[in-house]
Structure formats: structure tokens, C-alpha cells
Amino acid sequence: MTFSPATGVRTDWKPDDKWLLGIVLAVVNFWLFAQTLLNVIPGIQGQLGVERTLANLAVSITSLFSGIFIVVAGGAADRIGRVKTLYLGIYLSIVGSLLIALTPENLGALTSAMLLGGRVIQGLSAACIMPSTMALVKTYYDGRDRQRALSYWSIGSWGGSGFTALFGGLMASSPLGWRSIFWISIVLSVVALFLVKGTPESRGEPDPETAGERFDWSGLAFFIVTLVAINVYISQGPNIGWFGFTGLALVAVSVLAGLVFLQIETRRRKPFVNLSLFRNMTFSGATLSNFLLNGAAGTLIVSLGLVQVAAGMSSLQSGLLTLGYLIAILATIRVGERLLQRFGPKKPMVWGSIITGAGVLMTSLTFLRIEEYIVLNVVGFTLFGVGLGFYATPSTDAALSNVPDAQVGAASGIYKMASSLGNAIGVAISAALYVAGQAVDPELIRSWGLFIGRQDNVALRFGGTIGLLFNVLMVVVAIASIILTVPAQRRKEEEEAEREEVAPPAFGN
């Protein structure tokens, strides 16, 4: 038995496919089960007796809290242990799912508290699981084995998000009901605990320059205020008024808290968010584009909600529209890995983003007849999945490959913070624009002559167009960020490794 004296890592221990499956299941529990509300919430909102704006907040608040605390958990994983942090995340997943599964109907504040409380705990769970699993993968795999492991990690993350609408709709429409989603989540969390049992502990090497520094509680506090204020403003805007006193006060609080946060972080020796990591342009480009492409998740809540209301589809029927997304992303994630090995990260990241943007653009064509729109939705979601499959592994590898080992937990946390915050903010803005667009005078919309077919729901369809085009904008900015920041050439060590190594084995061998 051999240990690294600095980190206590067992250098003779090698993970097997059973262990990797446990990691994938841990990751899936957030991206699959927690995100099912994107499709399920329109159908259960009335059943639970909650307002639409609170329902939208319940959708986005999980990713928000994941994004807020994921850097804290990443840094804690480096210090107290990545395995301990992973276990904590899985336990929190069980508690959060239990609260949602037991949420009562039409009990006012109690219903809201349990629903939102369970969603917050699920966010904290993801904050622990995402950086700790990424750090463990980097610790115990090297070279192509790491790229292969990251591909399967991405299947848990991106693939889970691809299956979420279909799975959620299937369970919500089954005799088991929507609550069964979260009971299944609990069962798989227990399985994940069993599969990763016995993993040797791993920590980051301590930084002697910041030893003894207290945790940056002030930075964390202002970060929370910044994000919670802006998220409440976005999600509750229709109720509080976009330009009313309360709304403008929330914007002011968010801006001022954000400025104070940046000032604190640039002055501390050991900040809550290590902004120095962004000096690495490859890390910056991968992280920013990751934020923006995850923001395009707003496509799901708008498009699926639109067909449920405008066409009377059930959550299962709308979920079936995303079947091509699921198949495509699972089929192309390892293609993205091969493209990374051949071309480096930039080209597959750009290609994937362009394909994703084309798919989202198709879903925004709500002026067509519903039959035509459904066909475009199927094609659009399939392209969405192909694009993300190309993008996922190259982006993750680009973000982490140049980060020092002592900072891999914090860097993983920032990268996944971008995922979660992008998802939360993208969903919140898309849903808000969807609602706001419906307030436009239908007569004015009809006078444009753009919307064909039924004319009684043009305001609803116009709102969908506005919410979906915002996601197209997110993808366009992501493409620009990749082009400007990610280097085109491959790293020398990758080229040398390719000449020396054989092709990676298939999963299960």
C-alpha cells in the first residue's frame, strides 16, 4: 500500500468500472431526477396548489444553490477529503428527494416550504457531488483513461439532462405518479453509495502561502446576496413588477453586492472564488461557454411548456419530443472524446455549439402550425443533443487539463458552478421572457401576419418565441467566447501520449 505524503492518496489503488458506474449514478441523481421539474412542473403546479411564479422558482432554485455552494464544496473537498464530500452529497440527495416526495398538496406555506426546501437541499447535494467526482476522476485516472472516464462522467451529467424530460413525463403519466421520480432517486443514491464504498481518500496538496487563512465568509455572503436577489427578481418579476420599487431594489442590491464581492475576492489571499484561475484563457473560455450552453436549458422549460399548453400535450407526450436529444447526446459524447484526441478541444467545442444553436433556433419557430412545430422540435432537440455531445468532453478536459493538482477541486467547482448558475439563470430568464411575452396585445401580434394557424393563442406563441430566441443568443455568445479564448493547437503532451498509447478499451472491459 503506497501513499503520497502530501495528500494521503493511495497511489497503488486503481478504480474499476464498477466504481466508475457509482460515480456516474451519483452525478445522474442531480441531472436526471432533480431536473425533471423542467418538464413535470406545468402538470403538477395546479395539483400542488402553487402559483406559476413560485413553480418557476422551484425549477431554478436547485441549480442556483448548486452554483452558489459548488465552489465552497470544491475547496472543502480539497481540504477535508473528496470522498467525504462525495458521501455528504449523496446523503443530501436522499434527504432532498425525500422532502419533495412527501410534499403535501394545497397546504399553502407548508407545501411551498417543503417543495423549495427539498429543491435547495438537492442543489447543495449537487454542489458536493460535482466537484468531488471530477477531482476523483482526475486523481485516479491519467491520459486517455481520464478522457474515457470524463466521457462517462459526461454521460451522467449531459446524458442525465437529456433523459430528464422523457423520464419525468413517463413517471408522471404512469400509475406511480410524479413522486415516484424522487423515490427512485433515493434508491439509486443508495446503490451509488455501495459502488463507491472503499474509495481511498484524496485531498489537494496544501498551499503553504495561504495556510492558516480563514474561510472567506464575507465573499460567500455577498455572492449569495448577489445571485439570490437577481434570481428572485427574474423569477418573480411578473408579480412584483419589473420596474416597480421592489423589483428595482432587488436589482440595486444585486449590483451593489456583486461589486463588493469582486472587491473582496481581488484583495484576499485565499478568496472564496479563486479569480486567478481565469488568467488561464483555456479554462476561462471553457467555463464561460459551459455557463452559456447550460443557460440554453431554458429551451426545455419554454418549448415543452408551450406544447403542453398550446397543443394539450401531456408531460409524457412532450417528453417524447426530446427522445432524439437523449439518443444523440449518448451516442455522440464519445465521438466528442475522439474529436478531442484528434483535433484538440477548440474545434469540437465550436462545432458542437454551432449544432446546438441550430437546434435551439428550430424550436423557436413558434409562428408555424403546431404539426410543423412538433416536427421541428424533434429535429431541433436531436441537433441540441448532437451538439452537446460534441462539446461536453472537450470542454471538461480543456477546463481541467492545465489546472494545478492542488487547485483541481476549486477549479472543478468553478467549472460546475458555471453549469449550475447557467442553468438557473437561463431557465429563470427564459421562463420570465415567456411569461412577459404573453402580455403583449394579441391584436398587435396578429397585425404582423407572422403567426399562421390558430390565432387564439398568438400571445402564448409569441412569448415562446421571445423566451427561446434568448437561448439562441446564449449559444451565439458561447461560440464567440470559444473562438476568442481556446487555443486551436493540441498540447504537446497529448500528441506524445497518442503516439505511445493504444486505443482505450470499451466500457465494461
320 burial type by CB count under 10 A (0-12 exposed, 13-18 middle, 19+ buried): middle
Indicate the domain borders of the chain: 17-196+272-497, 217-271
Residue pLDDT, tens place only, 252-285: 999 999 999 999 988 887 787 888 888 888 888 9
Query: At 24, which amino acid appears?
Result: V
- Count the residues in the chain: 509
For the structural domain made of 17-196+272-497, what CATH number should be given? Answer: 1.20.1250.20
pLDDT at 380: 96
In this prediction, residues 201-223 reach a mean pLDDT of: 75
Instruction: List the grid coordinates of 251.
Output: 436589482
Quick one: pLDDT at residue 489?
63
pLDDT at 10: 54
Q: What is the pLDDT of residues 429-488, one digit of tens each?
A: 998 899 889 989 999 999 998 999 888 889 999 999 999 999 999 999 999 999 999 887
What is the per-residue pLDDT across 149-204, written as a single tens digit (0 to 9) for each? 877 887 777 667 767 777 888 888 888 888 998 999 999 999 999 999 988 988 87
pLDDT digits (tens, 9 = 90+) for 460-476: 999 999 999 999 999 99
Rounded to 5°, the CA angle 410-412-414 comes to: 70
Asked whether residue 12 carries a pLDDT value surpassing 50, the answer given is yes
The answer to whether residue 506 scores a pLDDT higher than 50 is no
pLDDT of residue 496: 52
What pLDDT was estimated at residue 337? Answer: 85
**Residue range 364-418, pLDDT digits in tens:** 999 999 889 999 999 999 999 899 889 988 998 888 776 776 676 667 778 878 8
Q: Is the pLDDT reported for residue 503 higher than 60?
A: no
Q: What's residue 159's pLDDT?
A: 67
Nearest Cα residue to 384 out of 346, 365, 358:
358
How much is the pTM?
0.77
Please compute the mean of the pLDDT values over residues 99-108 and round it to a whole number. Answer: 90
pLDDT higher at 305 or 193? 193
Three-class SS of residue 341? Answer: helix
Assign 502 a pLDDT band (cuts: 50, 70, 90): very low
pLDDT per residue as tens digits for the range 19-43: 999 998 998 887 677 777 777 877 7
Tell me, letter by letter, the H, E, C secondary structure of 210-266.
CCCCCCCHHHHHHHHHHHHHHHHHHHHHHHHCCCCHHHHHHHHHHHHHHHHHHHHHH
Reading phi first (left if > 0) and then psi (alpha if -120 to 50, else beta), residue 60 is in alpha
3-class DSSP state for residue 3? strand
Mean pLDDT of all residues belonging to the chain: 84
Residue 477 confidence (pLDDT): 96
pLDDT at 7 over 60: no
Q: What residues form DSSP beta bridges with 10?
A: 3
Q: What is the pLDDT of residues 341-360, one digit of tens each?
A: 899 899 999 999 999 999 99
